A and B are shown apart, each in its own frame.
Chain A
Amino acid sequence: MNNLNEINKNENAIIRKLEDNYYIFIDGKCYKVNETGALVYKYIGSDMPISLFCQKMAKKYDSESSEMIMKDVMAFIEFLENINVLSV
Chain B
Amino acid sequence: MEQILMLKNMKQPLPYMNLVEVLNVQDDDVVYVGGSLVEASVNKYSGRVGNRLSDLDVFILRKHERYKETSATYITDICRTDFVSCFGINCDVEVYDMDIIKEIIDGVNNIRFEEKERILNCIKMPKGYSFEKINEFLTRFFYSIPIYNIEYYNWLKNVIDINAFFKLKEYYCIQVIDNMKEDIWGNVEVGEYTTALMLCREAIYRFIEYIFSREKIFNDRRKWAWIKIENLSNDKKEYSDVYIYMKKVLYGDGTKLLEGDIRKYVKYLEDKIEEYSIEVDF
Contact = CB atoms under 8 A, between A and B. Distances in A.
A1 interface: no
B281 interface: yes
B189 interface: no
Interface stretch (B41-49, B139-147, B198-206, B272-280): B272-280
Nearest to B278: A42
Contacts of B277: 15-17, 22
B280 A14 contact: no
Contacts of A71: none
Contacts of A14: 178, 270, 273-274
A42 B113 contact: no
Given A16-B174, A18-B171, A42 B274 contact: yes
A72 interface: no
Given A15-B274, A19-B113, A38 B171 contact: no
Contact of B282 (A22, A38, A60): A60
A52 to B, nearest CB: 10
A16 B282 CA distance: 19
A22 B113 contact: no
A39 B270 contact: no
28 contacts: A11-B267, A14-B178, A14-B273, A14-B274, A15-B274, A15-B277, A15-B278, A16-B277, A17-B277, A17-B278, A17-B279, A18-B113, A18-B171, A21-B115, A22-B277, A22-B278, A38-B278, A38-B280, A39-B278, A39-B280, A39-B281, A41-B278, A42-B278, A42-B280, A42-B281, A57-B282, A59-B282, A60-B282
Interface of B: 113, 115, 171, 174, 178, 267, 270, 273-274, 277-282
Given A15-B274, A18-B115, A60-B282, 6 more contacts: A11-B267, A17-B277, A18-B171, A22-B278, A42-B281, A59-B282
